[in-house]
Each structure stands twice: as structure tokens, then as C-alpha cells.
Amino acid sequence: MRRVATAVGITPMALYRHYANRDGLLNTLADAGFVKLTAQLAGLRLTGRIDRQLLKILDVFLDLAFDNPRLFELMFLTKREGARQYPEDFRARRSPTANVSADVIARAMETGYLNKDDVWEIVFETGALMQGLIMLYLGGRMAMSPSEFRAFCHRSFGRYLNGILT
């Protein structure tokens, strides 16, 4: 907390007036990240083929990971109080970021593009695929440029979708 206070040019006591502890500060940062991510997803024009819509969503997550890798890690990997949990929070639509994918996948099932299945399981599986690949990339386990990695993620999602098509 002292280093953060010094970095932003305030006293540690001023920081503690706003955040009780490190976890409170990190939760606020993660929550702000989710607000921004939700706004970016809401701004997408999701029309056309289902696979293209899902890749647009994926690209928003990839952009966040490339632009703010530590924030991405905080939002999706760090255990923190109040983080949404699968399945209850997701099925209750308490995850604005997951709801976007769920709506696309539900429409795909309704139109017969995807097999009828559990929408939320598919959302969580695709999220796990995306987050797992991103964490491996951010952890230095993949020797690829950002554009090569993005193309790899697109191919991976294509393979996954091919497995659940009708």
C-alpha cells in the first residue's frame, strides 16, 4: 500500500481512507476493469454468422489481455472476495461479460446452428479455453507474436465450435 501511495503521489494514510487494505484496492481495480470490459462488449455490433460474433467477443478479451495483462490476471485468475462463481452467479445472469456470450450461444441453439445443450456450460467452457490460452501466453509459455497468438486463438475456437455444431 505504501508503494502504491508513493506511485500515485499521496500519503499511505490518504490511501487507507479509501481502501481498508490491499484486497479492497485490488477488488476496486478488478471491478473497474469489469465495468470497462462490459462497456466494450456492449458496444460490439454482433450480427452475421455466430462464429464471427463469438470471435468478436474473444477479440475484446484478447485486447484487454494484451493492453493490461496484470489487470486481466487480477480479473480472471486471482481469487478475490465477491468474484462471481460458476454456476450460480452465471445462471442468475450476474456476469455482464458472460451474458454477452450466453445470448449469442442461446440464439445459435435456437436457430439450430449449435446443438441444444446447456448454454452456461458452453459459456464457461469457452471462457476457460480463452482464459487458459491467454494465461499461458502471458506466462511466456507460447513463443508467438500477439497477432500470431490471436490467430491461434481464433483457430482454437473454430475447432471447439466445430465439435458442438449441429
Give the pLDDT score at 15: 65
| Residue for grid cell 449469442 | 104
Torsion angle in degrees (nearest 10) through CA of 19, 2, 69, 92: -20
Give the pLDDT score at 16: 65
Give the pLDDT score at 73: 95
Point out the residues of the chain with pLDDT beneath 50.
none
Q: What angle do CA 125, 58, 35 make, to 5 degrees?
A: 95
CB neighbour list of residue 11: distance below 8 Å, 6 or more residues apart: 5
- Cell of residue 146, nine digits: 500477439
- Cell of residue 166, nine digits: 449441429
Burial 2-35 (b: 16+ CB within 10 A, else e): eeeeeeeeeeeeebeeebeeeeebebebbeebbe
Give the pLDDT score at 163: 84
Give the pLDDT score at 166: 63
**pLDDT of 125-149, one tens digit each?**
999 999 999 999 999 999 999 999 9
Task: Report the DSSP beta bridge partners of residue 165.
Answer: 114
pTM of the model: 0.88
Find out whether 97 and 38 touch, Cβ atoms under 8 Å: yes
